[in-house]
Amino acid sequence: MDAIKDFLDANHLVMDVVVVTLVVAALHRNYLHKAFTIGAGCVALSKVCEPTTLQYAAFALVAYFVPPLLSPIYKKQPETGAVFVTGADSGMGEATVLHLCKTSGYERVYAGCFSPASEKKLRAQLDAAQGKKLKAISLNVCDDASVAKAAQDVEKDLRESGTGLIAVVQCAGMGYNGPGEFIPIDIYKKQMDVNFFGYVRVAQALMPLVRQGCKVTKRRGRMVFTGTGGGVLTPVPPLLTAYMASKFAVEAFVRSFRVEMQLTEKPIDACIISPGFVKPTMLVENGLKLNEVMWADCQKRLGTSQARDEYGPLLDRFIEYSLNEKGTHVSEVAKRIRLALAAGRPLHGYKVGPDSRATPVAGLLPVPVADAVMKFSVFGRQGAF
C-alpha cells in the first residue's frame, strides 16, 4: 500500500490528467468529440511529464475505447413492433426494408413504395418467412391524400396484427443539380417538397401511430430521417444549391424536433442518418434524367442556352467525379439505421462511410480553406477567390 501511495503522490498530476480525460471521453459517444478530448488530454499530459510515443498511443487508444458512462442508464430497446420505411423502391430504403425483414426481430416492416412494381421486386429477394414481415404501402410523399391514405392503411393493419408502430425511417429522396442563378423556382419547390416537406408530411401523419405504438410495445419510438455527408458542417459543392438546401432543412428540423420530444417527455427519439457517397442508388441515374429536365427548363426560362453553355462543363465534371467515387454500399446505411432503432438513446446523427466521417473535420476549417479543398478535389482547380 505504501508503494502505491508513494507512486500516486509522485505522479498525481499525471493521474489527474489521465482520469479527467478518460471520464470526459466516456461522456461522448461522438467519435469527433472523443478525438478532440483525447487531443486535449495528450497536450495536457505533455505539460506534466514526458511520455514516449508508445505511451501517447496507449493513452489515446484507452481513451477512445473507454465504454460510454451513460450506456448502462439507457437500456437497449427490444426489436419488437413495426417499422415504416419510405423510399423503399430502391437504394437506401430498399436496403433497409430487406435488412430489417431478413435479420431483425421486428414483426412488421412497412415498405412505403412510389411504384406498384416495387413490392414484387422486394418479395423476390425474401424467402417465405421473411416475406411475412413485409407489407408494401403505396406512398407519394408529395401528396397529402396519398400520405393520409398510407397512414390509414398502416393503422388498419396494426389493428389486425395487434402490434404497434415504433419507428418511421425516411429514405425517400431525389436530387436536382444545376446553377443557382438559373434554376427555375419550380425546381427548388419540387426538391424541397420531396426531401423536406415530404419528410415533415409523413412524420406528422404517422406520429399518432408511433405514440400509440410506444404504449403497445412498451419501448421507445424512433423518427429517423436521412441527411447527407457530415451534416451542417459539410462543405457544399457548387451546383447542389437545391439538394443541399433541402438536406440542411432536414437537419434543422431534426435538431428542433428532437428537443421538442425531450421537453414534452415523449418516449420518442429523433435522429438523422447522414451517408456520404453510397451505391447502388438511383440518385445518379435519376439525376442524369433530371439534369436534362433542368437544362430544358433553364432554356425555356432564359430563352437561350446560356445556363448550359456556362455551367455544363462544371456539371459534367461533377457527374464524372460522382461516378468514379467508389462509395459505401447501401447495406451499411441499413445496418446503421437498425443500430439507431435499437439504441437506448440514439445519437443525434450517424455518419455512414469514410467520406461522411471526414467532412465534418473539413467543415471546421475556415470557409475559404474548406472551399479551396473542395474545389481542388472535385474540379481539379481553384477558380477565383
The verdict on whether omega for the bond into residue 280 sits within 30 degrees of 0, i.e. cis, is yes
- Stretch(es) of the chain classified as CATH 3.40.50.720: 82-379
Whether 66 shows a pLDDT value over 80: the answer reads no
Say if residues 37 and 21 touch (Cβ distance below 8 Å): yes
| Gap between the Cα atoms of 149 and 137, Å rounded | 9
Q: Kindly report the number of other CB atoms within 10 A of residue 9's CB atom.
A: 8
Would you place residue 234 in the very low, low, confident or very high pLDDT band (cuts 50, 70, 90)?
Answer: confident
The predicted pLDDT at position 71 comes to 55
| Gap between the Cα atoms of 275 and 354, Å rounded | 9
| Gap between the Cα atoms of 332 and 340, Å rounded | 13
Q: Which tens digit of pLDDT belongs to each residue from 163-213? A: 999 999 999 999 899 999 999 999 999 999 999 999 999 999 999 999 999
Give the strand order in the sheet containing 82-86: 134-138, 108-113, 82-86, 165-170, 221-226, 268-275, 349-352
- Between 3.40.50.1820, 3.40.50.2000, 3.40.50.720, 3.40.50.970, what CATH number should domain 82-379 receive? 3.40.50.720
The predicted pLDDT at position 369 comes to 84
Q: Which tens digit of pLDDT belongs to each residue from 236-278? A: 889 999 999 999 999 999 999 999 999 999 999 999 999 988 8
Q: Any residues with CB less than 8 A from the CB of 339 and at least 6 apart, and which? A: 350
The percent of residues above 90 in pLDDT, for the chain, comes to 58
- Rounded to two decimals, the pTM is 0.83
Q: Which tens digit of pLDDT belongs to each residue from 277-309? A: 887 776 666 778 889 999 999 999 999 999 999
